[in-house]
Structure 1
Amino acid sequence: MSLRPVQVNIKAVDPPAVARFWARALGWTAYPGETTYVGPTGGLRWPHPTAIGIDVVGVPAPVAGTRLRLRLSTGDGPTLTDPEGNEFPVRDGDPTPVSAITLDCVDPRAMADFWSRAIDWPLREVTDEHAVLRASGPSLEFHRSPVGRTAPDRLHLDLLPHGDTTSAAEVARLRDLGATDLDVGQGDDVSWTCLSDPEGHEFCVLARPRSDVAEDLSSSTSD
């Protein structure tokens, strides 16, 4: 596959507090920098072979949308919130490493079809109410909701090209699949491309791996 989900981006008014929460909840490590990456302890590995990390980005004011959530266990259980109100279901109140990334959508079948072709993950389950994609690590799940996108999302996926492909080639392929360009005020000088899927879920295609900065970030970790 040519694109890999490597992190969930969380927009936060207080990034250090949100990053500390997720690092402690998951037993991971927070790597401060221009943004704060939260991932498994043992040094920054980006992309990680089995985990999808969390990248906490500062914003000046709260962002409304919460259609993407992290599930911290398998099975059904209570839904909790982090310090800025981001919901995450757990089982028996006992958080475990991220087991699923869930998205609310109007048409789970159509969303699963788009995302399966986008990231080449096989379809494991599909009904009119629910669909699941899974390769290794967390699954990507789609749950039917009658309400479409009404506000910018607080959380979104970041995808990383790998192998012989380039970000420009992958962005062009995604547009052919039905993705559209998204202007969130990023300007023209950023190294990533903001897109939205056919139902308006925001996501980004990153231009380069972070392996070249892993050593610097690993030397300045915080729990």
Structure 2
Amino acid sequence: MALRPVHVNIKALDASAVGRFWAEALGWSAYNAGVTTYVGPVGGFVWPDPVFLGIDVVPVPEAKTATKNRVHLDLAASSAAHQTELVAHLRDLGAKPVDVGQGDVPWTVLADLEGNEFCVLEPREVYRDTGPIAAIVVDCEDPRSMARFWGEAMDWTVHEVSDGQAVLRSTAGVGPYLEFLRTPGVKTVPDRVHLDLLPYPGDDKAAEVERLRALGATDLDLGQGDVAWTCLSDPEGHEFCVLAPS
């Protein structure tokens, strides 16, 4: 039994505008699915995508309040010229440079239309085949603890574990990485960005949720009411959802 991450969930005041931004940023398409906007690879709506994690932009009435999100995306660049071109393209789309204390680094930190931070990385060999999203990065206190929990929660492979970082990726070796970075500070407000997980066909969602609770997940009430998915938080309080199989 295991779960698979299927998309990155981003909360937004204007889900359509933020969805369009990310579609153009990644070279993907935006698909309206009810009140949400789903961003996925060009070629027709496929969900869950067998390789990539899409982005599901969900409308909420509250604006971003955290100084810095605890979860963000890293975008891949194939060359120094591509990085420069991508940063210029993103700024034309409305992205703004932000200072999160990164200092003098080879990557560029930007924020989307509603202030959600992301990074445009310098070319790195490890990300050459990830697609436009190199990694989903989670700030945490204890990467080793996060590797234990998320390595058991999902069917992804743990590639690296140290006091400073834990790295996971699909067992098929495709798509983006999931990285947990030891970061000063603690989580104080709900995450604006989180992962949504999905059971495999034939697996029992309720049994999967119970398994996650046994691993250390806790139930979470965000005012979601009676919905088909289950909201949980990991041992450090990062929210995530377990979706119902379609």
**3-state DSSP of counterpart to 2:25:** helix
Partner Cα separation in structure 2 for residue 172 and residue 98 of structure 1: 31
**3-state DSSP of counterpart to 1:24:** helix
Pairing 1:54-65 to 2, within 5 Å after superposition:
54-65=55-66
Instruction: Please tell me whether the aligned partners of residues 68 and 101 of structure 1 are also in contact (alpha carbons under 8 angstroms).
Output: yes
Instruction: Please tell me whether the aligned partners of residues 79 and 88 of structure 1 are also in contact (alpha carbons under 8 angstroms).
Output: yes
Instruction: Please tell me whether the aligned partners of residues 12 and 59 of structure 1 are also in contact (alpha carbons under 8 angstroms).
Output: yes
**3-state DSSP of counterpart to 1:99:** strand
Which deviations, in whole Å up to 9, do the C-alpha atoms of 1:40-81 show, x marking residues without a partner? 011111110110000011111213341111111169511111
Partner Cα separation in structure 2 for residue 146 and residue 68 of structure 1: 14
Across the two proteins, how many residue pairs are aligned to each other?
Answer: 206
**3-state DSSP of counterpart to 1:103:** strand
**3-state DSSP of counterpart to 2:72:** strand
- From 184, 192, 207, the equivalent of 1:169 is 207
Q: Which residue of 2 aligns with 1:197?
A: 234
RMSD: 1.7
**3-state DSSP of counterpart to 2:152:** helix
Partner Cα separation in structure 2 for residue 107 and residue 74 of structure 1: 29
Q: Are 2:80 and 1:79 equivalent residues in the alignment?
A: no
**Aligned-residue offset at 1:92:** 5.1
Partner Cα separation in structure 2 for residue 131 and residue 85 of structure 1: 26
TM-score, length of structure 2 as denominator length: 0.80
Instruction: Please tell me whether the aligned partners of residues 104 and 143 of structure 1 are also in contact (alpha carbons under 8 angstroms).
Output: yes
**3-state DSSP of counterpart to 1:168:** helix
**3-state DSSP of counterpart to 2:133:** coil
**3-state DSSP of counterpart to 1:183:** coil
Partner Cα separation in structure 2 for residue 98 and residue 121 of structure 1: 17
Amino acid at match of 1:85: G
**3-state DSSP of counterpart to 1:37:** strand
Q: Which residue of 1 aligns with 2:72?
A: 69
Instruction: Please tell me whether the aligned partners of residues 108 and 121 of structure 2 are also in contact (alpha carbons under 8 angstroms).
Output: yes
Q: Which residue of 2 aligns with 1:213?
A: none
Q: Are 2:169 and 1:134 equivalent residues in the alignment?
A: yes
Q: Which residue of 2 aligns with 1:50?
A: 51
Moved over 4 A (4+): none
Change (3 A) 1:74 1:3: farther
Pairing 1:78-157 to 2, within 5 Å after superposition:
78-91=108-121, 97-135=132-170, 136-157=174-195
Q: Which residue of 1 aligns with 2:94?
A: none
Partner Cα separation in structure 1 for residue 210 and residue 62 of structure 2: 32
Instruction: Please tell me whether the aligned partners of residues 63 and 153 of structure 1 are also in contact (alpha carbons under 8 angstroms).
Output: no
Unmatched 5+ stretches in structure 2: 79-105, 124-130
Unmatched 5+ stretches in structure 1: 210-223
Amino acid at match of 1:19: G
Partner Cα separation in structure 2 for residue 166 and residue 44 of structure 1: 25
TM-score, length of structure 1 as denominator length: 0.88
**3-state DSSP of counterpart to 1:113:** helix
Partner Cα separation in structure 2 for residue 46 and residue 84 of structure 1: 26
**Aligned-residue offset at 1:91:** 2.6
Larger relative contact order, structure 1 or 2 (CA cutoff 8 Å, min sep 6)? 1
- Give me the identity figure in percent: 62
